[in-house]
Structures are given as structure tokens and as C-alpha cells.
Chains A and B, each alone.
Chain A
């Protein structure tokens, strides 16, 4: 079930969808979206971004990623935004 494209900016606040099921297996996050019955296995960076989806803004998530990983701020901003959009389309997160 696609949530469709929603305009997401650095100020958008992101939280994990309350319906999802998830588990950390071997340091990777495994996420199940009950509405679609789809399972996603997140890589290291996606797992960290997922953990940071606790109501903070996309901008704050980007700052944390720049801090923790060896990545340029412009690249981190683009990647974080794309990933959050993708997670939203898959029903994994809610955006305020």
C-alpha cells in the first residue's frame, strides 16, 4: 500500500509508523509493514536513519548522520531525504 508522494523537507518531523513490526538481527533492522505484508532489511546507514525516526526533523537526522558517518553534508542531506521519502511510501514512517 503506497502512501504516495508527500512533500518532505528538512523541517518535516519523522516517526516510525506505530503499526510496523521490527527486530534488530545481526545489527541490521528488519522491518515488516503489516498493511502490505512486506519485509524490508535495512543496511547500516538506513538502520541508523530508521533509529533516528523518533519525531525529530529530517534536518536533525541529517546532522546526526554527518556526525557519525564519513559523508559530505550535501550528500547526507540528499540521501536522508530520499530515504525518508522511500520509507514513507512503503508505510514505514509517518510525517508531520
Chain B
């Protein structure tokens, strides 16, 4: 998630209206595998050893998503390129005219893979860049040389006119190099965004909370005009109403896990059903859990509806559930971010006199 509030809002509203018209999502993230060849310190995913969908099962899932009107697919993992049938799945998705995005750690992208990716007309290839310094980046991924390999793959793709979108989760180890990361992305021709909220692990147990930025650092981030459009943040805060839905999970987009579970998003660990048991469209339209999550407004969140930080809050049901045990309760990580966001914007106004 980028915190450049307001930049994407026109596009988001368009997608919301499309999803409302067909009553099924327009975007889906497919976690093609839960396996990964990196062990990033901060990763929220737990490597599962359950049976993954086969090629044929992914093909029929793609057919069902196509028939349900899904247009945008993000192919993700784990590391999706670990699947030997990765390019078969991509080709099938392109035959069905999906708009494709790929999330990868780039370790398996050599020249040949770059050529094949370039032939898929991807919207972009998304990678995580933890630092401009290889030592810092490699210490996060746990693999020496991962920074060099990431940069080399990204450059190969840029040379083949593939859009590369770098995302940096902001942590204590890289909070001081935001300007350097922005310059590097500019120089190399990458898109760049950041996420100031380091998420907890899916099982709630393994997040290195020590990597999370402090409240003061968060405030610095939200005060940086290169990163945050303060005017847009203020406008969104003014427009926020208690009757607004909290997020798009379960409406505009969804996530399908490597085992076929249909979930609202990768973080919110609630399954609406499995594509191996029922067709996707039936799962979507008949799941009561989905309808309840879709309908959630700020008014339905007991600890949040009267909170004076609510207009500044970017709250995630998934993070609230994993970290604080209640999907509808306050989320500590969102609370600190909302307070920092409000302080940053208030400070800006005060300093302008």
C-alpha cells in the first residue's frame, strides 16, 4: 500500500463502481504457492506444506474468475516463479484477457525469464526493495547477493519495457534512507512506493516487532511532502463518515490461496469457501461471512466508531484480527499510525502559521 493518499482514488472509485455493477470482485490476488526461496525477517506469510492447486485446478479457477468478471490478477506467492508451471498459468491468464501484475522476489528472473515476462504484457512487476545498500537489504532477506540479483532482474525488465514497481516496507533499518530510495528509483526508471505499516505474521507469532518504526519516525514519514500529499490526507479525513465502509476487502478484490481458499485479502485469514468444492461465483455470492465483511462500516466497530482518530485511520481488519485478536476491535498498529498522521498534518498547518 502506498501512502500517497489521493493519487489512486479516481481509479479506486472506478473499480468500486465496476464491482458494484457485477456484484463480484474485479481484482484477485492468486497466491500460486506458499513456498518461498527467501526467509525475510518481516514476512507476514507462514510457509505451509499443504497441497497446492494443480495446473489444471488453477486453469479452471481462471475460467471461473473470468466468467465472474474478474479483470485484474496479481500473481503472488510465496514466490510464484517457484512453480514449474508458472508461465503456463500466465499464458492461460493472458488468453483469457486478464490484466496481469506479478509480485516476485526476482531471484529466479534470468534473461530467459525476463524475455518471457516481457512477452506477457504485464501491467507491472512488483518487487520489495529494503534498502539502497546491499548489506542492509541482504540482512532482511537473509540471503547474501539478493540485492544484487534483485537490481539485476529489475534492470533487465526495464530494458525490456516492463514496468517495475518497487515497494519498500519502512523499518527501523531503512527509515533513514527514504530520500536515497526515491532517487534510486528515479535513476533506474522504477515506480516506487512504501508501506509504513509492518504487518504481523499470519499466525500472529513471528513478527520481529523490533523492526517497526517508532511513533516519532512514523510522524516524520507522514510529514515528508515527497511521500504524503497532506492536502489529500486532510480531504480524506474531512470526508470520512462513520457510515463509510472500512475497506474494500470482500467486495472489490479477493485473494485465493495456494490451496484454493477464497479470502477477502491476503491478510484477513477468513475463508469464504474453497474453489475445489464450489465454483468461485457461488462462493462469492452465497457466503454469509463475505456479506458481513463487505457490509462492515466504522459504525460496526465498537472501539473505533467514537474514536477521535477515526478520520485519520487506515485500519486493516486482518491486522486487527491477527495482532489484537478481534477483527472489529481497535488495531494497535493503525492507532499509532493514525495518531502520527494527525500530528504530522497538524504540525504542518501550525508551521505554515
Please list the residues of chain A having a beta carbon within 8 angstroms of any beta carbon in chain B.
Answer: 18-26, 30, 32, 34-35, 37, 39, 41
Contacts and interface: CB of A to CB of B under 8 A. Distances in A.
Contacts of A24: 69
A37 B14 CA distance: 14
A22 B98 CA distance: 7
Nearest to B94: A21
12 contacts: A20-B121, A21-B99, A23-B26, A23-B70, A24-B69, A25-B21, A25-B26, A32-B72, A32-B99, A34-B122, A37-B124, A39-B14
B296 interface: no
Contacts of B82: none
Contact of B22 (A21, A25, A41): A25
B97 interface: yes
Contacts of A22: 71, 97
Interface residues of B, number: 21
Contact of B18 (A21, A30, A37): A30
B211 interface: no
Interface in B115-141: 121-124
Q: Main SS of the interface on chain A?
A: strand
B22 A37 contact: no
A41 B15 CA distance: 11
A38 to B, nearest CB: 10
Contacts, number: 48
B163 interface: yes
Contact of B163 (A20, A32, A37): A37
A20 B122 CA distance: 10
Interface string B11-22: 100100010011
Contacts of A21: 71-72, 97-100, 121
B121 A19 contact: yes
A44 to B, nearest CB: 14
A16 to B, nearest CB: 9
A24 B22 CA distance: 10
Contacts of B21: 25-26
Interface string B34-51: 000000000000000000
Nearest to A37: B123
Contacts of A20: 97, 121
Which among A18, A23, A24 has the greatest number of chain B C-beta atoms within 10 A? Answer: A23
A91 B20 CA distance: 28
A34 B69 CA distance: 18
Contact of A23 (B14, B97, B161): B97
Interface string B95-107: 0011110000000
Given A21-B121, A25-B18, 8 more contacts: A18-B121, A23-B26, A23-B70, A25-B21, A25-B26, A30-B18, A35-B161, A37-B124
A39 B97 contact: no
Contacts of A18: 121
Nearest to B22: A25
A34 B18 contact: no
Given A32-B99, A37-B163, A39-B11, A23 B121 contact: no
For the complex of A and B, list the 6 residue pairs with the smallest distance between their C-beta atoms, beginning with the closest: A21-B99, A19-B121, A26-B21, A23-B71, A34-B121, A32-B99
